[in-house]
Amino acid sequence: MIEKNFIKCSDKSNIIQNYHDKGLTFLEEEEYEKALEQFNKLIEITQNRLEDNLDACYHKGEALSYLGKNEDSLSCFEFILKNNPLDRDALFMKGYVLGDLGKHDEAVEAYNKLLEIDPKDSDALVNKADELIRLNKFDESLKVSDMALQLNTYDIEALTNKGIALLNLRRIKEALDVFNNTLQYDPKYEEAWYMKSRCLSLLNKQSEALDALLVATSIFPKYKEEIKDEIDFINIKELERFKELSKI
């Protein structure tokens, strides 16, 4: 009898592992509906195995997030946090999904809880700084970005957040220095080129601004959809090169 039960338990473990591995493979292949199906099955068969159940719930939340089903995704991470309020990954994803939902204050709260657990969580600092930008709290975002950069001087996202905060504080030359620094680490980073072009326009360096904007739109053509409405391009909007760049 003992041996028979052991075999059943072993078989179930293999089934759990199989669903888990298939689900992760589908996530990597960006087959999110198929991944969701695997993790839903996994949740069904792990009701009495909390660790496996919470792990499946986490990956289900990831799949739902990729599918844009953010409310359902949020429910997954909140379920995990009810069972383990200190789960780092669930807190991080909760903040990420709240940001996608436009609930930026709540996203900041989630990252704050995470930073209470680990004040040196650089990813949480970077995302918190980004959410603060969306809340127009540029001074605070700048401070948080500097904290992230103390942990990793080469963090491209932290540098970008710092530059954007400085740009919105109208510390234009400082912002330009940050974006130039960012491009030293990643010469093909389209957002840094775009923000650099805004800085150069505000400094009335028209030719340089247009050169930077050309690079940005070449890497990421969707920028053409927003440059006409960008107030920072006031000094170059009437130039023929700008008009050509803004054609979709």
Q: What is d(CA 181, CA 145) in angstroms, rounded to the nearest whole number?
A: 15
What are the pLDDT digits (tens) for 109-134? 999 999 999 999 999 999 999 999 99
Query: What tokens were used for 30?
Result: 């960006």
> Superfamily assignment of 1-84 in CATH?
Tetratricopeptide repeat domain (1.25.40.10)
pLDDT value for 15: 85
> Given pLDDT bands bounded at 50, 70 and 90, which one contains residue 48?
confident
Cβ atoms of 110 and 94 closer than 8 Å: yes
> What long-range pairs does 49-52 form, CB within 8 A, spacing at least 24?
49/16, 50/83, 52/16, 52/20
pLDDT digits (tens, 9 = 90+) for 196-226: 999 999 999 999 999 999 999 999 999 999 9
- Nearest of 64, 74, 79, 82 to residue 106 by alpha carbon: 74
Residue 166 has pLDDT above 90, yes or no: yes
Of 90 and 247, the structure prediction assigns the larger pLDDT to 90
In the chain, CATH 1.25.40.10 sits at 1-84
Give the phi and the psi of residue 91 in degrees, each rounded to 5: -65, -40
Residue 119: DSSP 8-state = T
With the CA atoms of 103, 106, 111 and 112 taken in that order, what torsion angle do they form, in degrees rounded to the nearest 10? 150
pLDDT class of 10 with cuts at 50, 70, 90: very low
- Token pair 């200190």 is found at 86
Kindly report, residue by residue over 220-229, the tens digit of the pLDDT.
999 999 998 9
